[in-house]
Amino acid sequence: MTKLFMFDVLKQAIDEEMTKDKSVCVFGEDIGHYGGSYKVTKDLHAKYGDLRILDTPIAENSFTGMAIGAAMTGLRPIVEGMNMSFLLLAFNQISNNAGMLRYTSGGNFSIPLVIRGPGGVGKQLGAEHSQRLEAYFQSIPGLKIVACSTPYNAKGLLKSAIRDNNPVIFFEHVLLYNLQSDIPTDEYLLPLDRAEIVRMGNQLTIITYSRMRHHVIKAVDILVKEGYDPEVIDLISLKPLDIQTIIASVHKTHKVIIVEETMKTGGIGAELLAQIYENAFDFLDAPVVRLSSEDIPTPYNGELERLTIVQPNMIIQAVRSIC
């Protein structure tokens, strides 16, 4: 085991896959000589050169389209969004091309493409830089969506995403890059379609993902001392949802709280809620509780920003209430 930061393990995953497979390349703004805004590609340009670590103009629609074309012709591009919010400028390419070309070409083309970068609410980044795009992309056919939450799962998931023959939207949270944990020195891969049971419990199920996993853990540490026994599930795969793991937990606990950083209206929790009601309504002893961000642009003011997203004390109150 080696203790590493999340940005280090993401770099490791890219480096290892580029060494193994010469078709893997990276496109993005300032990823080359500068090493990326969060240093995920630091020093890779010196190792692999301009053609495999390609600094692009500030033109998300253009370089995302270029990456999709490269994937169609046999490369395995990784697109880094300097901030995932900027990829709204490439929404047409992602939805009408990346997600659909395998189907609309009758299977003649596969799109082995990873689109990755920082998202979520940071610390006073302003509304335009605090977007949570996972809900925007969720309804696009043909995409896989993954949200890493720890250095360990970040590395294993990114390596699997790079090897996958489908387009994968890979969400990293801007406030988790400096999270540190032990990473195996041996190579490992993690499945892109499985949730992780973070804590086994029998009293209720808390479902979450990305940075909110850590807010939930803070709350659970207090709740366990009070005698509560929650089960915690980290979704990891946002599309497809690992509904089997979720339903198995609901059958056991009969109560559910969803904790997300997306807005409540049309969020990941809304889809999760619908699927739980469709598949496990008869096993519920109480209505499902959703804890989501407020339906407003994220304020720049630090205190107001904090009030718009779910905090550990809100999770504690919700568990006390539902139990």
* Contacts of residue 114, Cβ cutoff 8 Å, sequence gap at least 6: 76, 77, 78, 79, 158, 161, 162, 164, 167, 168, 170
Distances (CA, A) of 88 to 91, 101, 132: 5, 19, 11
- Under a CB-based contact definition with an 8 Å cutoff, are residues 92 and 38 in contact? no
Identify the active-site residue in 17, 29, 45, 60.
60
Q: How far is Cα 236 from Cα 196, in angstroms, rounded to an integer? A: 7
- Under a CB-based contact definition with an 8 Å cutoff, are residues 205 and 220 in contact? no
34-40 — which CB contacts under 8 Å span 24+ positions? 36/80, 36/82, 37/82, 37/83, 37/118, 38/7, 38/118, 38/174, 38/177, 39/7, 39/11, 40/7, 40/10, 40/11, 40/14, 40/80
Q: How far is Cα 126 from Cα 293, in angstroms, rounded to an integer? A: 15
Task: Based on the residue annotation, tell me whether 60 is a catalytic residue of this protein.
Answer: yes
Identify the active-site residue in 29, 45, 80, 129.
129
Unique residue bearing structure tokens 């939450």: 149
Task: Based on the residue annotation, tell me whether 172 is a catalytic residue of this protein.
Answer: no
* DSSP SS3 for 188: coil
Q: How far is Cα 296 from Cα 298, in angstroms, rounded to an integer? A: 6
Active-site positions? 60, 129
